[in-house]
Amino acid sequence: MKKRLLLIVIYLAFISLGLPDSLLGAGWPSMYKSLGTPIHFAGIISMIVAGGTVISSLFSARFINRFGVAKITAFSVFLTAISLFGFAYSDQFIFLCLLAVPLGLGAGCVDVALNNYVALHYQAKHMNWLHCFWGVGAAIGPMLMAGYLAQGKSWESGYHTVALIQFGLVLILVLSFPLWIKKEENANEANETSSSKSFKRILAIPGLKSALLLFFCYCTIEATFGLWAASYLVFVREFKVEDAAQLVSLYYGGITIGRFLSGFISLKLSNQNLVKAGQGLILLGLVLLFLPTEFTIIPGILLVGLGCAPIFPSLLHETPRNFGEKDSESIMGMQMASAYVGITIMPLIFGKLAGQIGFESFIGFLGLILLLKVFLTYDMNVRVSKRKKSIEGK
């Protein structure tokens, strides 16, 4: 019973991860005007948040070992709540940049702590559905923002409401402390006994370099679409700001539904086939978005979300099979770091590109990254297959 209650709490905590991730992209077409900043400055905030996430991910294990998963998770969510509350009362761009630092630091610790805890103590299906609940939060964010904008209220109202939700989750996490005690001890023992691996030796494993670039490309697509899709709809397809924000929620809704379904589909399809199917859906979605008609926009956005859904969890789950269980923990960390780097720099790069040549380049930019990702997927699978055959031959 305690284990089930704790799982519910963990799911709620992962919703808190998704809530702020989609707010900036949904609200930015309105935010940049009131702040008096260039349109591409959203990429700066996104980069700072992602940079904080990278840093906290690298050092989170040390704090988790010392304070435990429950306390670190509660404090991290509290940190994000304070940051979002500050967003709601900031009228200067520089303040948003400063608040983006603790927002990223808190998000990184929650991500690492919960993923590691669930991997150690729960079945694999819960890992897929955990990422599904991130999508629930990510879908709710734009819906809240769109609702306030449609009512004629400011973007600050959206951040204020999400901050209050985060504070509520902090209270739930604090009340759940007794459920975590025994699990934390086991988790800490596992972390303390884990040995460090040689970075140079691991990087030499066939296919790993392609895998790292693969994670970089996937997160480039996911983050860039999430941040700039609303702006593309406003400036290229001439949608109203509130309508564009609402449509972006379909993208995160597609990710959410797709990850829920992929937990069941994975019983029939391999991880490799799920990744290939996801790439195909993304391509189809981008083609529909490119067509000069409004009728294909909604299915296009939804298909991109559905396509993104199985890729990240499937690639993570396939890691031990591709590179061996011995080094899987170290490789998981490297892959996550590569993913966060993509989230950190690529939305900003596209923002600057769009500022120079226009948001008409949105679909083409994502299409090129997707083609590179398809090639890297093929290259990784070929190299991994050769490595396995070589090991079997010995």
Q: According to the 3-state scheme, what is the secondary structure of 213-254?
A: HHHHHHHHHHHHHHHHHHHHHHHCCCCCHHHHHHHHHHHHHH
The domain tally of the chain equals 1
Could you tell me which residues come within 8 angstroms of residue 185 by beta carbon, excluding any fewer than 6 positions away? none
183 pLDDT more than 50: no
* Residue 192: per-residue pLDDT: 44
Which residue has better confidence, 136 or 293?
293
250 pLDDT more than 80: yes
228 pLDDT more than 80: yes
Residues 344-362 have pLDDT tens digits of 889 889 999 998 999 999 9
Residue at 346 is within a domain: yes
Residue at 4 is within a domain: no
Name the CA dihedral angle for 205, 115, 136, 168, rounded to a multiple of 10 degrees: -150
Amino acid at 238: E
pLDDT classification of 167: cutoffs 50, 70, 90: very high
Q: How many helices (H) and strands (E) does the chain have?
A: 16, 0
Residue 132 sits in which domain range?
A: 10-389
Paired tokens of 90: 């900031």
Structure letter (DSSP) for residue 361: G
Highest mean pLDDT (candidates 61-75, 155-169, 196-210): 155-169
Amino acid at 141: G
Cα angle 17-20-25, degrees, rounded to a multiple of 5: 130
Residues 56-101 have pLDDT tens digits of 776 766 677 778 778 888 998 999 999 999 998 888 899 999 999 9
**Residue 238 burial (10 A CB sphere; 0-12, 13-18, 19+):** exposed
Task: Please answer whether residues 215 and 315 qualify as being in contact, where contact means their C-beta atoms are separated by less than 8 angstroms.
Answer: yes
**CATH number for 236:** 1.20.1250.20
Residue at 226 is within a domain: yes
pLDDT classification of 1: cutoffs 50, 70, 90: low
Q: What is the mean pLDDT of the chain?
A: 84
Residue at 115 is within a domain: yes
Structure letter (DSSP) for residue 269: S
Residue owning tokens 């593309």: 232
What b/e string do you get for 112-140 counting C-beta neighbours within 10 Å, with b at 16 or more? bbbbbbbbebbeeebbbbbbbbbbbbbbb
Evaluate the CA torsion angle 170, 175, 177, 179 in order and state its sign.
Answer: negative
Residues 2-46 have pLDDT tens digits of 777 888 888 888 887 788 877 888 888 888 888 888 888 888 888
Confidence (pTM): 0.72
